[in-house]
Amino acid sequence: MITKRIIPCLDVKDGETVKGTNFINLRKAGDPVELGKAYSKAGADELVYLDITASYEGRKTFTDMVTRVAAEINIPFTVGGGINELSDVERLLYAGADKVSINSAAIRTPELIDTIANRFGSQVCVCAIDARLEDNGDWVCYLKGGREKTNIKLFDWAHEVQERGAGEILFTSMNHDGVKDGYANEALATLADKLSIPIIASGGAGCKEHFFDVFNIGHADADRFANP
């Protein structure tokens, strides 16, 4: 049986960890390296750093931070945000990241998944999927942090992502994210049972029982949660 993983996620802007709601009313929350070290010491299996900076200057600051994290933290970490082409992946991996997470760029250019997997190996490529359960019962994928609806169905896209070479899928249910009332365990279980690559659940934890349920009912391989 594969060991279940707990993965804290830190949002980073201009080199500092920030907290807020939907990227609004952001406030500083500490040094990302020191927070990462604290999570590692507390027993986290992996970390995720999400770059929410829009500027080119901010991207360079994030890359410098990745180098610092790699030098001081000895658990695997994934980076995401602003990854649109292979050069972005190269920059972050060479800085010391273990994996990269792509979302909207993968839907816009699915071949990017193949390119990353062929160049660096499937284990490097995490494909994040944001989806909402619509009134008609279909799970539909969204872009741009949930602001732009597509006509792509969750389970079709997840299968394509696997076939193109992604090593893991990070699934966020927009219906459950931030509500703290549990996970979309039925959808998670469908993904886990239909696919052979690991499924990471994101968004929904409000108590310890939700972690138990996401692993035992949702069959998730890992849980990613935001910096509290």
Instruction: Say what the pLDDT of residue 82 is.
Output: 84
- pTM for the whole structure: 0.89
- Determine if residue 187 is left, alpha or beta; phi over 0 gives left, psi from -120 to 50 gives alpha, anything else beta: alpha
CATH of domain 5-226: 3.20.20.70
Among residues 93, 10, 14, 27, the alpha carbon closest in space to that of 61 is found at 14
Q: Write the pLDDT tens digit of every residue in 34-70.
A: 999 999 999 999 999 988 775 566 677 889 999 999 9
**Which of 26, 4, 30 shows the shortest CA–CA distance to 15?**
30
**What residues does each domain of the chain span?**
5-226
Q: Give per-residue pLDDT as tens, 151-182.
A: 999 999 999 999 999 999 999 888 877 667 77
Q: Is 45 part of the annotated catalytic residue set?
A: no
Beta strands in the chain, from DSSP E residues, in sequence order: 5-13, 16-21, 24-30, 47-51, 77-80, 99-102, 125-133, 139-143, 148-153, 168-173, 199-202, 222-226
Contact of 13 with 53, CB cutoff 8 Å: yes
pLDDT in tens, 197-207: 999 998 777 77
**Is residue 54 classed as helix, strand or coil in its secondary structure?**
coil
The catalytic residue among 11, 213, 221, 223 is 11
Q: What is the pLDDT of residue 47?
A: 95
Q: Write the DSSP symbol of residue 163.
A: H
From 14, 64, 114, 130, the catalytic residue: 130
11 has catalytic annotation:
yes
